[in-house]
């Protein structure tokens, strides 16, 4: 449905250029306030038990207290500064009873929302709330019932439930005639690193009538991946063109590892709180990578609210930003490079990415 728009959008990193005047404003203030994009993991419990899940290591079946969650949404709305929110896991965000209200309240005031879910639970209210989002990504991780059950360690009908949930989303989108971009994602490992597996996700997306496929690496520390063969990449690009399904296969090849020779030695995104991250305990982290390792908690929203934590953590964020030279993985590497290149001047580019607010 949105193939042409998604196909012509530029890589994620260029989203900073759409936001650069705002970023310059933030970086020239001594202490800034709220980030532009905030990722919230409202629950770290999950209704699946995937064999490759790295969140299980820290999963203690916690959830943001609903009252605290509601207060956080109040704060976000009152601030008027946060332009995009992602609700995601470790853990399954749809299990949080306040998620529906949170999405409705945020989108009503123009904050864009994206959701990453496993799609196992989708009530009628949640389905309607999803219609207000900019995008939703369902981590399906398989293209058939048997493999799904094995990889997610769920009951034998769960794949059908997820399939029907996605079909429900597609029908409602059609009925509402709205702009929700629907995608599926799959964790790719050594055993499904071949064309015959990778291509199935594109075919499944076409069958479901959705828009995109996101391939993700198994991020268990220490796993090594050889690059994909060129013929596989070419064949997948051809298939996605034929099926009119967008995929991240070209950026997936680049991987997320920071290049040996860095082009910056200070992480602008973290120092200036341009992105931020809150988990199910209410802990605030500077970015996804610190959250995954449960390192460098910048504060906790249960104690004194989000804003106070942001102010108090300025010094610590500055220190973390200085040591970013030690960060081994970072999907934000290229964004930092671009921010530095802008060097306090706005670059005008025609970036037609519909999701440019999600840094
Ligand atoms: S759906 Fe996500 S959070 Fe849940 S077990 Fe699977 S990988 Fe982990
Ligand atoms: S991983 Fe390091 S470089 Fe990347 S956003 Fe976090 S602090 Fe910055």
**Interval between CA 332 and ligand 2 midpoint (Å):** 7
Contact residues of ligand 1, CB 6 A cut-off: 46, 48-50, 53, 55, 89-92, 118, 139, 152
Confidence label for 253 from pLDDT (cuts 50, 70 and 90)? low
Mean pLDDT of 191-195: 83
Residue 54, both tokens: 């790295």
Identify which of 127-136, 172-181, 312-321 has the greatest average pLDDT.
Answer: 127-136
Which ligand has the minimum distance to the alpha carbon of residue 37?
A: 2
Average pLDDT, the chain: 88
Confidence label for 181 from pLDDT (cuts 50, 70 and 90)? very high
Least confident of 25-29, 167-171, 353-357: 25-29
Please report whether residue 12 resides in a domain. Answer: yes
Residue 260 has pLDDT above 60, yes or no: no
How far is it, in rounded angstroms, from Cα 218 to Cα 140?
14
- Residue 32, domain extent: 3-342
**Interval between CA 333 and ligand 1 midpoint (Å):** 25
Please report whether residue 73 resides in a domain. Answer: yes
Which of 185, 17, 1 shows the shortest CA–CA distance to 89? 185
Which ligand has the minimum distance to the alpha carbon of residue 276?
A: 2
pLDDT at 331: 79
CB 305 within 8 A of CB 75: yes
CB atoms near residue 79 (< 10 Å): 14
Please report whether residue 354 resides in a domain. Answer: no
Ligand 1 atom closest to the Cα of residue 47 is 4
CA atoms within 13 A on the CB side of 202: 22
Please report whether residue 355 resides in a domain. Answer: no
- For residue 359 and ligand 2, the question of a CB distance below 6 A is answered with no
Which ligand has the minimum distance to the alpha carbon of residue 323?
A: 2
Residue 137 has pLDDT above 60, yes or no: yes
Please report whether residue 310 resides in a domain. Answer: yes
How far is it, in rounded angstroms, from Cα 74 to Cα 79?
8
pLDDT in tens, 81-111: 999 999 998 899 999 999 999 999 999 999 9
Per-residue exposure over 294-314, b if at least 16 CB sit within 10 Å of its own CB, e if not = eebbbbbbeeebbeebbeebe
| Nearest protein Cα to ligand 1, atom 8 | 53
pLDDT at 258: 53
Least confident of 30-34, 233-237, 259-263: 259-263
Q: Could you write out the three-class secondary structure of 92-133?
A: CHHHCCCHHHHHHHHHHCCCEEEEEECCCCCCHHHHHHHCCC
pLDDT at 44: 92
Count of domains observed in the chain: 1
Please report whether residue 16 resides in a domain. Answer: yes
Residue 254 has pLDDT above 60, yes or no: no
Which of 51, 3, 95, 9 shows the shortest CA–CA distance to 354? 9
Residue 78 has pLDDT above 90, yes or no: yes
Confidence label for 32 from pLDDT (cuts 50, 70 and 90)? low
Q: With 0-12 CB in 10 A as exposed, 13-18 as middle and 19+ as buried, what is 331?
A: middle
| Nearest protein Cα to ligand 1, atom 7 | 53
Please report whether residue 209 resides in a domain. Answer: yes
pLDDT in tens, 197-215: 999 999 999 999 999 999 9
**Residue bearing the bigger pLDDT, 12 or 184:** 184
pLDDT at 177: 82
| Nearest protein Cα to ligand 1, atom 6 | 50
**Interval between CA 267 and ligand 2 midpoint (Å):** 6
Residue 351 has pLDDT above 80, yes or no: no
Q: Is 138 helix (H, G, I), strand (E, B) or coil?
A: strand
pLDDT at 16: 84
Please report whether residue 358 resides in a domain. Answer: no
Identify which of 11-15, 73-77, 267-271 has the greatest average pLDDT.
Answer: 73-77
- Kindly give, in sequence order, each residue whose CB lies less than 8 Å from that of residue 128, ignoring residues fewer than 6 positions away: 172
| Nearest protein Cα to ligand 2, atom 3 | 324
pLDDT at 23: 82
CATH number at residue 272: 3.20.20.70
């Amino acid at each position: 449905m949105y193939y042409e728009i998604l196909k012509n959008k530029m890589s994620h990193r260029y989203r900073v250029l759409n936001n650069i005047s705002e970023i310059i404003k933030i970086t020239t203030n001594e202490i800034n306030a709220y980030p532009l994009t905030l990722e919230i993991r409202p629950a770290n419990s999950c209704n699946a038990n995937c064999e490759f899940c790295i969140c299980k290591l820290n999963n203690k079946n916690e959830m943001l207290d609903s009252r605290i969650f509601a207060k956080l949404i109040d704060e976000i709305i009152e601030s008027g500064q946060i332009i995009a929110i992602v609700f995601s896991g470790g853990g399954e965000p749809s299990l949080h009873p306040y998620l529906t209200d949170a999405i409705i309240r945020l989108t009503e005031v123009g904050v864009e929302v994206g959701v990453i879910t496993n799609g196992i639970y989708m009530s009628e209210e949640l389905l309607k709330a999803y219609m207000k989002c900019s995008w939703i990504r369902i981590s399906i991780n398989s293209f058939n019932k048997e493999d799904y059950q094995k990889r997610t360690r769920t009951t034998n009908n769960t794949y059908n439930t997820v399939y029907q949930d996605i079909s429900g989303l597609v029908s409602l989108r059609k009925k509402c005639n709205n702009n929700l971009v629907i995608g599926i994602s799959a964790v790719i490992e050594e055993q499904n690193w071949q064309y015959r597996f990778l291509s199935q996700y594109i075919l499944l997306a076409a069958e479901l009538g959705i828009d995109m496929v996101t391939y993700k690496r198994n991020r268990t520390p220490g796993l090594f991946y050889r690059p994909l063969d060129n013929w596989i990449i070419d064949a997948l690009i051809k298939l996605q063109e034929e099926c009119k399904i967008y995929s991240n296969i070209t950026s997936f090849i680049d991987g997320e590892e920071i290049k040996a020779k860095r082009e910056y030695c200070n992480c602008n995104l973290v120092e200036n709180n341009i992105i931020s991250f809150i988990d199910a305990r209410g802990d605030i982290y500077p970015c996804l990578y610190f959250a995954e390792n449960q390192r460098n908690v910048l504060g906790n929203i249960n104690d004194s609210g989000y804003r106070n934590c942001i102010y108090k953590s300025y010094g610590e964020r500055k220190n973390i930003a200085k040591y970013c030279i030690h960060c081994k993985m970072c999907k934000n590497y290229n964004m930092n490079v671009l921010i530095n290149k802008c060097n306090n001047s706005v670059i005008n580019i025609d970036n037609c990415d519909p999701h440019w607010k999600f840094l």
